[in-house]
Structure 1
Amino acid sequence: MRRLLCTTLLFSAGLAHAEVPRVATDIAPVHSLVSMVMQGAGSPDLIIPPGASPHSYAMRPSEARAVAKADLVVWVGPSLAPWLEEPMSSLAQGAERLTLQDVEGIRLLTNRSGVAFEAHDHGDHEGDDDHAGHEDHEGHDHGAHEDHGDHGDHEGHDHDDHGDHKGHDDHADHDDHDHDAHEEADAHAGHNHAPGALDPHIWLDPQNAMVWLDAIAASLSAQDPENAALYADNAAQAQAQLVDLQADIQAELTPLRGQKFVVFHDAYHYFEARFDVEASAAISLSDGAAPSAARLAEVRDVVKDTQAACVFTEPQFNAGLVDALQDGTALKSASLDPIGAALEPGVDMYPALLRDLAAAFTSCLAE
């Protein structure tokens, strides 16, 4: 009888575990957020390993199997990894998809145009409530941002029209000289870098991550009602952690407002806009293409005109490009990584990514 009871308990435990949804995620920051919500019930699979480009990637057999077995696929969306749509359609036909770029209440930004970002006009996005329906996450942020209303125009992107950005047409002439490089970058990287297109680096705004945690918990709960309370509690705890982290980063970066710097490519707009530290220019059009000589010359002019003190590199960055920007002035440099390639995937990865970005800004911009 005792043996039968033990066998029954083990079988029941196996059934309970099997009911937890199999989840596949695209990039490590999203994997981290899903891991936070699933703690105590299971863990998601990561499709795109750290260090690989999310814009164009050939899945290994083990990653393809993870997609095929998934009950739920959580991904940023086609703005970041358009290549992933085909394997999801063919391998995971029965799986639910949570497309994070389409979640209501997040802040969406568009690609900035031209070399000098200060010429970019966000006026066509004004008036939208970027966190509608998520008032419970707003209160902690008002105090930090109420004194710089000039940045409100970053926030008002309408989910229904991010394919139509007529307000950006007047900036097309900024990049006329660089169209060949622009097309080459788009072909290499696999997503749209055109001015006015959706900027896919949405996870770098912690407010967006807080909204996503609720959406992740809701999707998991719909498939696994027995663990709904666990998912909701985990999401709430993760949100509280991010509230504190955002406040800490805000306090760290507030003294750096107004400091001029250049980034390798325009991947950090969400982080910059959230914490009010704005880049002056980007060296490259994308993370997969070298800048043209003409673009480098323009960036060098921006560095000189703005008296930029820092250039932010990336792990794949050609260090010789920093020398090309010097023009007789010493530029400090630090490395930024929007995807967290050097970080261990898991629940701690996303907070560590934001802390590392903040630390890099402080090390390079603090006087």
Structure 2
Amino acid sequence: MTSSPLRGLVAAVALALMGTSSFAGVPRVVTDIPPVGSLVAQVMGDLGRPEVLTGKGADPHDLQLRPSQAVALAQADLVFWIGPELTPWLARALQGAGGRAKSVSLLHLPGTKTLDYSAGQGDPAAAAGDHDHAHDEGALNPHAWLDPDNARLWLKAIAADLAQADPAHAAQYRANAKEAEARVAQADARARQILAPVGTRPIIVYHDALGYFARHYGLHLAGSIALGDAATPGARRLADIRGLLAKGDAVCVFPEAGVDPRLVQTVTQGTKVKIGAPLDPPGTMLAPGPKLYERLIEGMARKIADCAG
């Protein structure tokens, strides 16, 4: 039997589709997470604003759509999202919405720089055989927005899709994207300058979301407390990380926004390692809007440099 929340969503989508007319003018756009919303907002400029499904403080990996969001998805002309590897709930919603939206998975665009999750890669603690993780070795890591090179590539693709959907404003979308690329490049350069004192000093993060950021800026990730987005580290995992810290194999450990900080306090207790400010890879704690992407990249750089620099 269909659950009440699901029945409500189905009804909302059906009503939305009944009132959907043929597309004309500036497209209705929906995005998954704040960084993608920020990139799209920059390309759309004054012409419109995308709806971001993952609101302030929400977990992008596990989200229940509100009826209003289901309606927005059903009425959308374009959906820009990372892909099912990050937001499987959105993959299911897109299948069930029955709308007319063109779905653009940025992670799978040609030219996107990708990384795989690799058990034990750059993570001595993982070699101890802990299996309380949510990712298989070789699975695609979806946190690709943390590489500014990908953001610049995606801006071009976003502009192309908007221009195709709305030819009357094609020149404006492309001009906005070019300006946004310059802003991302500037934020990238500032972040690189901020991180220069960190060098290859080893750091530990809460979960394995920073691979793209670390690769792009040449940081040394010594390990992560949790091995997956939804994984809760077990006692063996915590003991392995404590052993790594006791040997002095990391200078700083970073909690994650929205995650109980007590695990970080537990693994660092009795060691000399510093605890950094919480990192926020999906940017859900930042004010949404066009400037969010730049603030996310520079803000993470500052937090890492303040602790490990």
Q: Same fold (TM over 0.5)?
A: yes
Please state if 1:35 is matched with 2:41: yes
Could you tell me which amino acid in structure 1 is paired with residue 45 of structure 2? Q
Please state if 1:51 is matched with 2:51: no
**Alpha-carbon deviations, 1:108-132, whole Å to 9, x = none?**
0011313x72569xxxxxxxxxxxx
Decide which of 318, 321, 339 is 2:260's aligned counterpart. Answer: 318
DSSP-derived class of the 1:281 partner = strand
Alignment partners' CA distance in 2, 1:362 and 1:105: 30
**Alpha-carbon deviations, 1:38-89, whole Å to 9, x = none?**
0021111112213211212110011101100100111100111122122212
Corresponding residue of 1:252: 194
Could you tell me which amino acid in structure 1 is paired with residue 211 of structure 2? H
Corresponding residue of 1:3: none
Whether the 8 Å contact between 1:73 and 1:98 is mirrored in structure 2 is yes
Measure how far apart 1:331 and its partner are: 2.1
Measure how far apart 1:305 and its partner are: 3.1
Whether the 8 Å contact between 1:260 and 1:279 is mirrored in structure 2 is yes
Whether the 8 Å contact between 1:272 and 1:278 is mirrored in structure 2 is yes
DSSP-derived class of the 1:256 partner = coil
Corresponding residue of 1:266: 208
**Alpha-carbon deviations, 1:217-238, whole Å to 9, x = none?**
0000001011000000000000
Which runs of 5 or more structure 2 residues have no equivalent in the other structure? 1-22
Alignment partners' CA distance in 2, 1:44 and 1:117: 37
Measure how far apart 1:93 and its partner are: 3.4
Whether the 8 Å contact between 1:72 and 1:95 is mirrored in structure 2 is yes
Could you tell me which amino acid in structure 2 is paired with residue 298 of structure 1? D
Measure how far apart 1:18 and its partner are: 5.3
Corresponding residue of 2:14: none
CA gap 1:74/1:175 in 2 versus in 1, 3 angstroms: farther
Corresponding residue of 2:282: 339
TM-score (normalizing by structure 2): 0.87
Alignment partners' CA distance in 2, 1:93 and 1:238: 30
Alignment partners' CA distance in 2, 1:50 and 1:318: 17
Please state if 1:294 is matched with 2:236: yes
Whether the 8 Å contact between 1:36 and 1:347 is mirrored in structure 2 is yes
Corresponding residue of 1:358: 301
Aligned length: 286
DSSP-derived class of the 2:80 partner = strand
**Alpha-carbon deviations, 1:168-227, whole Å to 9, x = none?**
xxxxx9364x33x33xxx3xxxxxx22210001010111100000000000000010110
Deviating beyond 3 angstroms after TM superposition, the runs of 4 or more aligned structure 1 residues are: 173-176
Whether the 8 Å contact between 2:54 and 2:284 is mirrored in structure 1 is no
Q: Bigger shift: 39-48 or 304-313?
A: 304-313
CA gap 1:198/1:72 in 2 versus in 1, 3 angstroms: same
Please state if 1:104 is matched with 2:110: yes
Alignment partners' CA distance in 2, 1:55 and 1:332: 28
Q: Bigger shift: 42-51 or 282-291?
A: 282-291
Whether the 8 Å contact between 2:38 and 2:292 is mirrored in structure 1 is yes
- After superposition, residues 218-229 of structure 1 pair within 5 angstroms as 218-229=160-171
Percent identity over the alignment?
40
Alignment partners' CA distance in 2, 1:60 and 1:118: 38
Corresponding residue of 1:174: 127
Decide which of 203, 221, 231 is 2:145's aligned counterpart. Answer: 203
DSSP-derived class of the 2:254 partner = strand
Which structure dedicates a bigger proportion of its chain to helix?
A: 1
Could you tell me which amino acid in structure 2 is paired with residue 279 of structure 1? L
- After superposition, residues 133-152 of structure 1 pair within 5 angstroms as none
Alignment partners' CA distance in 2, 1:320 and 1:42: 42
TM-score (normalizing by structure 1): 0.74
CA gap 1:92/1:212 in 2 versus in 1, 3 angstroms: farther
Alignment partners' CA distance in 2, 1:29 and 1:327: 34
Whether the 8 Å contact between 1:50 and 1:339 is mirrored in structure 2 is no
Please state if 1:237 is matched with 2:190: no
Structure with bigger gyration radius:
1
- After superposition, residues 69-108 of structure 1 pair within 5 angstroms as 69-108=75-114
**Alpha-carbon deviations, 1:263-297, whole Å to 9, x = none?**
10011111111000121010112243321110111
Alignment partners' CA distance in 1, 2:230 and 2:108: 26
Whether the 8 Å contact between 1:111 and 1:199 is mirrored in structure 2 is yes
Alignment partners' CA distance in 1, 2:110 and 2:191: 25
Decide which of 157, 160, 167 is 1:215's aligned counterpart. Answer: 157
- After superposition, residues 105-124 of structure 1 pair within 5 angstroms as 105-114=111-120, 117=122
Measure how far apart 1:247 and its partner are: 1.1
Alignment partners' CA distance in 1, 2:248 and 2:112: 32
Cα RMSD, aligned residues only: 2.0
Could you tell me which amino acid in structure 2 is paired with residue 57 of structure 1? L
Alignment partners' CA distance in 1, 2:40 and 2:98: 18
Measure how far apart 1:333 and its partner are: 1.3
Could you tell me which amino acid in structure 1 is paired with residue 86 of structure 2? L
Could you tell me which amino acid in structure 1 is paired with residue 299 of structure 2? D
